[in-house]
Homo-oligomer: A and B are copies of this chain.
Amino acid sequence: MKNFTFQNTTKIIFGKGSISQLEKEIPLDRKIMLTMGGGSVKQNGVYDQVVSALQKHNCIEFWGIEPNPKVETLRKAIALGKQENIDFILAVGGGSVLDGTKLIASAIPYNGDAWNLVLDETLIGDIIPFADVITLPATGSEMNQGAVISNSASGEKYAFGSAYPQFSILDPETTFSLPPYQIACGIADSFIHVMEQYLIDKNNAPLMDRWAEGILLTLIETAPFIRKNQQDYEQMANFMLSATMALNGFIAMGIRTDWATHMIGHEITALTGLTHGETLAIVEPALLRVMKNEKRNKLLQYAERVWNIVETDEDRKIEAAIAKTEQFYRSLPLKTRLSEHGIGDDVCQEIVERFRKRNTRLGENASITADTVKIILEHCK
């Protein structure tokens, strides 16, 4: 086990009816900016619950943070926040709204352009306190410091680190009306967050392995029930809790991580607009096939403990586990091949070119070069 420091200060308020707790969680003397997406929170009643809980508070609203939040949109929210001297931000929506809010909260006290903060976290100084009512289990943003921001002008998409939400309200009932495709992407996203931290050889952290496997098994067991009945409170609660635990540091103590699947997936989204979760479901089985020797021991453990595969030939065992994984993504249902989305060689070549220019080396051992990415993308076709 590696030496590590762990601290996660976010307060999780979980369960049906919990939005009403906003009233006492935010001090009355704060000037609040509510940040929101395209309006689904108005249709599903979440907005009404928030406004009702905050009726004694002083709030302004910013609407229009899109999926894969763009710095161009966020600059408008930052300008509004500066102008109105807001001192608390409440994100109401999914991971994109919250990710965008993390940049807004970091950029309001900053004098330069917000994109600088994405490119160089060390420029981040004070951060406006923020919290969220999260309505889409997927990114884990509700209990971590990370955010992913896109720049449409440059076609770039990068992760950056900001602060933990002060609190996050998770009411599984808010997910009942989500489009099934978003739920499918959310399950894949959560699953692959775990895989990026778990499928690493020689991590020597058996408890972290067990906890990662625990999330994977819970998602595998929960997914078919959710597909049958998206209003099943207990199953949506399982999914929502799993999504949060998948990327809050709880399974990452003392370990090395990977994130190559995410790096490649981000490029696909940046170039084609494909939803994050779906890009991961395409890239990850391909990456595991290409990197199977580096990840051999952990893939064998994964085959046994997660998929219960009994098979003596190691290569067959590993391929069976990867096939099961791909089959799981297809059952959500998601497509797992670029060709199914009409994405062709031009996109793949551009991605490889980008990694070549940046001289990037990805993966647990920094062994994935642009040439390896090319091979992985071949397997994605």
A interface residue numbers (CB < 8 A to B): 1-18, 167, 204-207, 210-211, 213-215, 217-218, 221-222, 234, 237-238, 241-242, 245, 250, 253-254
Q: Which chain B residues border A253 with CB–CB below 8 Å?
A: 12, 14, 241
Of B2, B210, B211, which contacts A15 at CB under 8 A? B2
Give me 17 A-to-B residue pairs in the complex whose CB atoms sit less than 8 angstroms apart, sorted by A's number: A1-B15, A3-B15, A3-B18, A5-B11, A6-B12, A7-B12, A14-B253, A15-B254, A205-B238, A206-B221, A207-B215, A210-B210, A210-B213, A210-B217, A213-B214, A241-B254, A250-B250
Docked Cα-Cα span, A217 to B234, in Å, equals 26
Q: Judge whether B18 and A237 touch: CB under 8 Å.
A: no
Q: Chain B nearest CB: distance from A22 CB in Å?
A: 13
Docked Cα-Cα span, A242 to B1, in Å, equals 13
Q: Which residue of B lies closest to A241 (CB)?
A: B207
Q: Judge whether A238 and B3 touch: CB under 8 Å.
A: no
Q: Chain B nearest CB: distance from A144 CB in Å?
A: 15
Q: Which residue of B lies closest to A17 (CB)?
A: B3
Q: Which chain B residues border A218 with CB–CB below 8 Å?
A: 206-207, 210
Q: Which chain B residues border A9 with CB–CB below 8 Å?
A: 7, 9
Q: Which chain B residues border A15 with CB–CB below 8 Å?
A: 1-4, 254
A210-B217, A213-B214 given as contacts; is B14 within 8 A of A241 (CB)? no
Of B4, B207, B215, which contacts A245 at CB under 8 A? B207
Q: Which chain B residues border A11 with CB–CB below 8 Å?
A: 5-7
A211-B211, A218-B210 given as contacts; is B13 within 8 A of A5 (CB)? yes
Q: Which residue of B lies closest to A172 (CB)?
A: B1
Q: Chain B nearest CB: distance from A156 CB in Å?
A: 33
Docked Cα-Cα span, A3 to B12, in Å, equals 10
Q: Which chain B residues border A213 with CB–CB below 8 Å?
A: 210, 214
Q: Judge whether B13 and A238 touch: CB under 8 Å.
A: no
Docked Cα-Cα span, A242 to B167, in Å, equals 26
Q: Which chain B residues border A14 with CB–CB below 8 Å?
A: 1, 3-6, 253-254
Q: Which chain B residues border A238 with CB–CB below 8 Å?
A: 1, 205-207
